[in-house]
Amino acid sequence: MQTKQQKIELVKDLAEKIKNSKAVVFSDFKGLTVKNMTELRSELSAKGVDMKVFKKTLLTIALKDAGVELDATKFEGQIAVAVSREDEVEAAKIIAKMAKANENLKIVGGLLGKNILSKEEVVALSKLPSKQEMLAKLVGTLNAPVSGFVNVLAGNLRGLVQVLKAVGESKEN
């Protein structure tokens, strides 16, 4: 059992993490095996996402301290909180993928910045491409006109070289 001081520190730490996060995903893990939970935590950790289990009352206090008006006691089951500091979609992607594979893991809601998300919105967020994928698509889109222009110029030069070669061959004959 935790002392009152330990609970205060936990709440303060969680409130600070929520304030500095890009996204937070709340999930019900009731019935999840230790092996599956460990696998989920390690996958989240590899992507820079912290996951902890909190009592709903402490979570509600931490959310209030972070400036979010959400009553976590209304969530069903045992709640795990995944806090993503770097990417808005990474936590949602990983948890949604794991939830598809394991029916005991359920997304119950989330936060995007200070905006409260329903479970459907978190699932929709999980389907978006990650920041790295979006940047790669942007670079590809920006590079496409340049590549096309280079190909047009190269085509003109190829045509000129072929004409000069044909002229040279005709003068030799």
pLDDT at residue 108 in the model: 92
* Percent composition of the chain: helix, strand, coil (DSSP 3-state, to 5): 60, 15, 25
What pTM does this model have? 0.73
pLDDT exceeds cutoff 80 at 74: yes
Instruction: Give 124-139 pLDDT, tens digit per residue.
Output: 888 888 777 878 888 8
Instruction: Give 77-91 pLDDT, tens digit per residue.
Output: 889 999 988 888 888
pLDDT exceeds cutoff 90 at 5: no
* Adjacent-strand bridge partners of 84: 23, 49
